[in-house]
Structure formats: structure tokens, C-alpha cells
């Protein structure tokens, strides 16, 4: 189970990666998710179930969709999921060999936490040309934290190359280890 926060570009890239590789994905509770942006990153929309408004119980909708999907993305819309319910849904994801990504709310016990932050833009002019031109890329800093690995941060550019939007990664920086005293 992965908790994701920050820039949506990372989520769109993950959806594109799974669906373009032949997998199936579902997105629940993201009424304003840019499906065009996902397609531009290479997502196969015919392999994507989109439930923008799941009703009063989005967690139940996600639990059902875990049965047939490789990846389920659940937007919580700011709600907090009780730990007992979260454990039951995570157990279901494991039993179905599905990946669950949760964003936009409180979900305790995440095995991995990903945070994507915009660090800059390239392509919009500087000086007297400021604000003019085309945006060529967006620089993201992605931080990964987990129970079983050292925290690390990687920077990547999201840019258009060969007619589609792609990630162009840089080196990974490991966080300094903290020593308990």
C-alpha cells in the first residue's frame, strides 16, 4: 500500500506505466483527473476504469475493484479511514496481488510514502521574455519513505519527447541516516 501526496504528474506516470505494459488500473474519487494528460504520458485508457464520484463509500468501491485490477488509486477527498478498515482493504490488496495507492486523506500504516513536489519549470522565457514561450518541462522532486528502506529523493523532469510526455530521471540522493543516541 502506497500513500501518495503532491504533484499529480507522478500519479499519471504510474497509471501510464501500468496500463501501457498491459495491466489494468482503476482510479476512484478523482473527478478532475486529467485523462488527456494520462494518455499523453502513454496510458492506455481502455485499460483504465475511472470512477470520478464513487458515492458515500469510496473505500468499498476500491475494495471491490481490487479483485480485477493490477493498480487501484483511491482519492479519499480529505477523509480519514479507521485503522481496522484500512488493514482489511490492504489485506485484500495483498491477497489479490494488487497495488493500492491512496491519496488525499488519512490512511495509517502505509508501507511506502511518496511525495512529489514541483521544483521548477523550463521553457518559459526569462528577463524581458518572462512568461512567454512554451513550457518544455516540469522538474519534480520525488521523495520515497518506507519501513523497509532508507528515505531517498530523486529529481526528474516531465517533458515532451518524441510526441509523448515522459519522465527523464536524474540521480537518486539518499537521506543522511539519523543515529539514535
Position of cell 475494495? 63
The residues facing 75 across adjacent strands are 103
Domain ends where: 83, 111, 139?
111
How far apart are alpha carbons 117 and 76 in whole angstroms? 20
Residues 107 and 120 occupy one common structural domain: no
Residues 119 and 95 in one domain: no
Res. 12: pLDDT tops 80: yes
What confidence tens digit (pLDDT) does each residue in 48-103 have? Answer: 999 999 999 999 999 999 999 999 999 999 989 999 999 999 999 999 999 999 99
**Statement to judge: residues 65 and 94 lie in one domain:** yes
Give the angle 34-134-19 at the CA atoms, nearest 5°: 30
In sequence order, what are the residues at sequence separation of 6 or more whose Cβ sits closer than 8 angstroms to the Cβ of residue 170? 154, 155, 156, 157
Predicted TM-score (pTM) of the model is 0.85
- Classify 68 in phi/psi space as left (phi over 0), alpha (psi -120 to 50) or beta: alpha
Which has more pLDDT, 128 or 68? 68
State how far the Cα of 37 lies from the Cα of 40, in Å rounded to an integer. Answer: 5
Give residue 78's domain range: 2-111
Q: In the chain, count H helices and then E strands.
A: 4, 11
| Residue 37, in any domain of the structure | yes
Helix (H) or strand (E) holding 155: strand 149-161
Is residue 3 a contact partner of residue 110, using CB atoms and an 8 Å limit?
Answer: yes
CATH number of the structural domain spanning residue 88: 3.40.50.300
Q: How many residues does the chain have?
A: 181
The pLDDT of residue 33: 93
User: Is the same domain home to 57 and 86?
Assistant: yes
d(CA 136, CA 148): 36
The answer as to whether 179 is a domain residue is no
139 occurs within a structural domain: yes
Choice among 14-28, 93-107, 162-176 with the minimum mean pLDDT: 162-176
Task: For residues 81 and 125, state if they share a domain.
Answer: no
Amino acid at each position: 500500500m502506497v500513500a501518495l501526496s503532491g504533484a499529480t504528474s507522478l500519479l499519471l506516470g504510474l497509471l501510464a506505466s501500468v496500463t501501457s505494459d498491459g495491466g489494468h488500473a482503476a482510479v476512484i474519487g478523482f473527478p478532475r483527473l486529467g485523462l488527456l494528460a494520462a494518455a499523453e504520458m502513454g496510458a492506455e485508457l481502455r485499460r483504465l476504469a475511472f470512477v470520478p464520484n464513487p458515492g458515500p463509500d469510496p473505500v468499498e468501491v476500491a475494495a471491490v475493484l481490487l479483485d480485477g485490477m493490477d493498480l487501484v488509486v483511491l482519492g479519499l477527498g480529505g477523509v480519514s479511514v479507521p485503522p481496522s478498515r484500512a488493514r482489511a482493504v490492504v489485506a485484500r490488496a495483498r491477497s489479490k496481488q494488487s497495488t493500492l495507492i491512496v491519496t488525499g486523506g488519512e490512511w495509517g500504516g502505509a508501507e511506502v510514502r511518496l511525495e512529489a513536489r514541483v521544483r521548477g519549470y523550463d521553457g518559459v522565457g526569462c528577463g524581458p521574455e518572462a512568461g512567454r514561450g512554451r513550457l518544455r518541462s516540469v522538474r519534480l522532486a520525488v521523495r520515497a519513505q518506507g519501513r523497509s528502506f532508507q528515505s531517498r529523493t530523486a529529481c526528474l523532469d516531465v517533458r515532451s519527447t518524441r510526441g509523448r510526455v515522459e519522465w527523464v530521471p536524474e540521480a537518486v540522493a539518499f537521506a543522511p541516516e539519523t543515529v539514535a543516541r
